[in-house]
Amino acid sequence: MLGMKTRKRSAMLLLSAVMSISLFGCSTGNSTTGNTGQAAGEGSTATASAETTKPAGGKLVLYSAGPQKLADNIISGFTAKTGIEVEMFQGTTGKILARMEAEKSNPVADVVILASLPSAQALKADGLTLPYPDAENADKLNKDWSDAEGNYFSSSASALGIVYNTKLVSTPPTSWAELATPAWKDVVNIPDPTLSGSALDFITGYLSVNGDKGWDLLASYKANGVAMAGANQEALDPVITGAKSIVAAGVDYMAYSSKAKGEPLDIVYPEEGTVISPRPAAILKSSQNVENAKVFIDYLLSDEAQKLVADAYLIPGREDIEATNRANLKDIPQLKVDWNWMSEHGDETAARFSETFK
């Protein structure tokens, strides 16, 4: 499957297998086309760090794992600057990988943006990525999140935290272990790691630090009525409405965005640390529009696009740019995760988690 016979099975395999059956019947993936007449998103006043020097025009096929508004704004800005039209499939990391699996005999995408670093590591290991070592501003990226050889570039990141309904929770938990106590019985959701790349990052990251004690915690979650509740948005929606009180391993940019819209939400990062989930972009080796794909990566790492990232409540991938509407990387307690362990053990972790919570 996609060249995996010669290496350890990666997180991509399980996600693809789970989702491939339902991919084309699912209504949550969206396809859009960029419009050369659209301007960049609101608040995007910064100028790109360098002028595009490669030929303009043509098209690009992008598979992107949310958020939708950010992807639309990036496409608008990119098309306005380059004249390159973008055809986009929008979906979760699981759905993107499943679509790639379904299309493996006739690949379509030029660039993918995923919500899981181990998934990008797996694409590289499978020989599916095209290195672009000369990408503009790549030297300004967080080195732990991007590939030194230019196979993937994490242009943004989110952190996983405890997201809670402020109308139902006056004193939120301050540790992951608290969610297993009687005070939070039957009121907590957790995203499904076979559907959410960031949830898989959290679970494998936590296990890479805590080993079997991590599985003990997850088993205590199940015993306390924690529910596996679909992908990130599906896990969050019942907390917004008040049907549930908390999302464990909730994606922080969704909480910040919903809070800004007036929803009764807030987030805490447990004191023992959490997992940062980078969002890597990669050019695929099968790309039919390689030069346009390189121009897109350059734009994604530009001042203009990184401002759009910050405006969308995500952590910018470039270390010289900070968000003003959320906690930045230096403000978030972090677990010292082992990304290589996470990449190697994604399949078995997701399978065991699903078996535990089914």
Binding residues for Fe cation: 253
DSSP 2: T
What is the rounded radius of gyration, in angstroms, for the C-alpha atoms of the chain? 19
Report how far residue 152's alpha carbon sits from residue 304's, in angstroms, rounded to the nearest whole number.
Answer: 20
Segment (H or E) for 112: strand 111-113
Q: Which amino acid, 165?
A: N
Collapse the DSSP code of 36 into the 3-class scheme (helix H, G, I; strand E, B; otherwise coil) and give the result: coil
> Which ranges of 150-251 would DSSP assign to H, the alpha helix?
197-210, 212-223, 232-241
Collapse the DSSP code of 50 into the 3-class scheme (helix H, G, I; strand E, B; otherwise coil) and give the result: coil
Q: Which two tokens stand for residue 30?
A: 């969206």
Residue 344: how many CA atoms within 13 Å on its side-chain side? 8
Residues 6+ apart with CB under 8 A from 53: none
Report how far residue 221's alpha carbon sits from residue 211's, in angstroms, rounded to the nearest whole number.
Answer: 16
Report how far residue 17's alpha carbon sits from residue 58's, in angstroms, rounded to the nearest whole number.
Answer: 33
Q: Which two tokens stand for residue 256?
A: 């910040």
Quick one: which of 242, 259, 105 has its CA closest to 187?
Answer: 242
The total of other beta-carbon atoms located within 10 Å of residue 66's CB is 23
Could you tell me whether strands 265-268 and 153-165 are parallel, antiparallel, or unpaired per DSSP bridges? antiparallel
Burial of 28 from C-beta contacts in 10 A (0-12 / 13-18 / 19+): middle
Which residues make up each annotated binding site?
253
Q: Which amino acid, 133?
A: P
Main-chain phi, psi angles of 313, to 5 degrees: 70, 20
